[in-house]
Amino acid sequence: MTGKPKLYYFNGRGKMESVCWLLAAAGVEFEEEFLETREQYEKLLQGGFLMFQQVPVVEIDGMKMVQTRAILSYIAAKYNLCGKDLKVRALVDMYIGGTDDLMGLILLFPFLSAEDKEKQLAVTVQKATSRYFPAYKKVLKDHGQNFPVGNNFSWADVHLLEAILMVEEKKSDVLSGFPQSQAFKTRISSIPTIKKFLEPGSQRKCVPDDKYMETVRRVLHMYHNVKAN
């Protein structure tokens, strides 16, 4: 081991992408092992990596961590991205939960038929513009600071930027009625560690393609009781 966190997942977006975002935002280098075969899964299972027979799994600080939220919480705490006190941490957690709900709508897309993708897009845009972005608009406007929580960069900022970019990939003008969110996106994207992660050649993954989906289906369908969590 080199001491770097090691991420085990498919070579594409999914639950692990937020882990990549958070590590990158913290300026932490990490290694990745991309899962392509059933044999790789079996090796992880036999090695005791997959506590609940699920991915993602991250090897960090001598631990084999599963459950995405637990992994993210640990990284945020380790690198001081979860708030300076109990109340701030509660707000960060609350905002993360809302952003997770929005991102969950988009994570479904690769698994849907063309017809269902159109329906899901309409639902996603409707909820983004009537529920989630208005909430963040109010938070940013009322708070009057550069960041939604306190006035310090946190996990909530990283997660929200990731969500905004995910929605913009589906509808490029989705922020047209939300100038505060647009300014937030520009501001957070210019933070050096995040700017680096957004540049070509980084470990940020592309939108899932057919090859990625074939790999996921092949590996997970061979092991019906193993699934992405």
Joined together, the tokens standing for residue 124 give 């996603």
Choose among 115, 76, 105, 107: nearest CA to 92. Answer: 76
Residues 67 and 114 in one domain: no
Could you read off the pLDDT of 63-101 as tens digits, one per residue? 999 999 999 999 999 999 998 889 889 999 999 999 999
Q: Is residue 46 part of a domain?
A: yes
Residue 223 banded pLDDT, cuts 50, 70, 90: very low
The per-residue pLDDT of the chain, averaged, comes to: 89
Q: Are 147 and 154 in contact (CB under 8 A)?
A: yes
Residues 132 and 173 in one domain: yes
Q: Is residue 229 part of a domain?
A: no
pLDDT at position 174 is 95
Measured between its terminal Cα atoms, the distance across the chain in Å is 26
pLDDT at position 225 is 41
Strand partners of residue 8? 33, 57
| Distances, alpha carbon 218 to alpha carbons 10, 128, 215, 221, in Å | 11, 32, 5, 6
Residue 144 banded pLDDT, cuts 50, 70, 90: low
Contacts (Cβ under 8 Å, ≥6 apart) of 165: 185
Could you read off the pLDDT of 14-55 as tens digits, one per residue? 899 999 999 999 999 999 999 998 889 888 888 888 888 788
Alpha carbons 105 and 56: distance in angstroms, whole number: 19
Q: How many domains does the chain have?
A: 2
Residues 108 and 154 in one domain: yes
Alpha carbons 70 and 76: distance in angstroms, whole number: 10
Q: What's the whole-model pTM score? A: 0.90
The parent domain of residue 140 ranges over 86-191
Joined together, the tokens standing for residue 133 give 């972005």
Q: Which residue has the tokens 């057919």?
A: 210
Residue 221 banded pLDDT, cuts 50, 70, 90: low
* DSSP at 130: I
- Looking at the chain, the number of H-run helices and the number of E-run strands are 10, 6
Half-sphere exposure of 133 (CA within 13 A, CB side): 26
Q: Is residue 98 part of a domain?
A: yes
Report which residue type is found at 126.
Q
Q: Are 199 and 191 in contact (CB under 8 A)?
A: no
